[in-house]
Amino acid sequence: MYRGSMPRTKGDHEARRRDVSAAVWQVMATRGFAGLTLRAVAAELGATTGLLTHYFPTKQALVEYALDLLEQRTVSRPRRHTGEGLAAFRDALLDILPLTPEATDSNRIWVSSWDTALSDPALSTDHARKYAKGRDRLIERVAAAQELGELSPGNPARIAAGAQAFVLGLVVQALFDPAVFPPARQVELLDDYLAALTASH
């Protein structure tokens, strides 16, 4: 289907981009950034490596595309909205955890991206910026929970940084040991964390 032919219409082009994105995502979810090659994406897509070079002239272009795709899918993922204040803070933390197959793939790709990102100052800065934005969103929810008297009046930035650390580490544990950290266990540990935060005020 893809061999050698170029897209002829805007619709064709967009359909093919979606297929390429799905193939890049699938390769990353299975093999990580270390296994992300033009050859692997071509095999996933049932296309030639030659066709892929049309989209990604270099390995660097493929890595950048993959990182953009990861950010897009993270930003546009479905979010929980079960309430205000502490409930909204908990929702934001649950949204990060690998509680579904889709969230597991996405987290596996995030964790895999860390090796690539730490080796490249520009990518590393970009990751730092993304995590800082994530903390900013948590800070708003901490402040809202404090206003409702559901969280201690401590520094919201410190509470948000601590909570972000907690869920990032829980992601890593759950990816390596899904038998020990199934979704129910992750939620239980997060609730222990939140219970300690709320009990200490």
Binding site for a copy of itself (CB under 8 A): 30-35, 108, 111-119, 124, 127-128, 131-132, 154, 158-159, 161-162, 164-173, 175-177, 180-181, 188-189, 192-193, 195-197, 199-200
Least gap, CB of 191 to a copy of itself (angstroms): 10
Q: Which is nearer to a copy of itself, 51 or 97 (CB)?
A: 97
Q: Which is nearer to a copy of itself, 5 or 125 (CB)?
A: 125
For a copy of itself, give the closer residue by CB, 107 or 141: 107
List alpha helices for the chain, DSSP H: 10-31, 38-45, 49-55, 59-75, 86-96, 101-118, 121-147, 156-176, 183-199
Of 63 and 88, which has the nearer Cβ to a copy of itself? 63
Q: How far is the CB of 126 from a copy of itself (least distance, A)?
A: 10
Cα(25)–Cα(69) distance, integer angstroms: 8
Judge residue 2's burial from the number of C-beta atoms within 10 Å of its C-beta, 0-12 exposed, 13-18 middle, 19 or more buried.
Answer: middle
**Cα separation of 23 and 88, whole Å?**
34
Shortest Å, Cβ 33 to a copy of itself: 6
Instruction: Pick between residue 73 and residue 185 the one whose CB is nearest to a copy of itself.
Output: 185
- Quote the least distance from Cβ 15 to a copy of itself, whole Å: 30
Amino acid code (one letter) for 140: E
CA 186 to chain centre: 17
Q: Shortest distance, CB of residue 147 to a copy of itself, whole angstroms?
A: 20
Distance CA 161, CA 132 (A): 9
Q: Select from 74, 158, 62 the least CA-distant residue to 111.
A: 74
Angstrom distance (rounded) from CA 20 to CA 198: 46
CB of 121 to a copy of itself, least distance (A): 11
Q: Which is nearer to a copy of itself, 9 or 119 (CB)?
A: 119
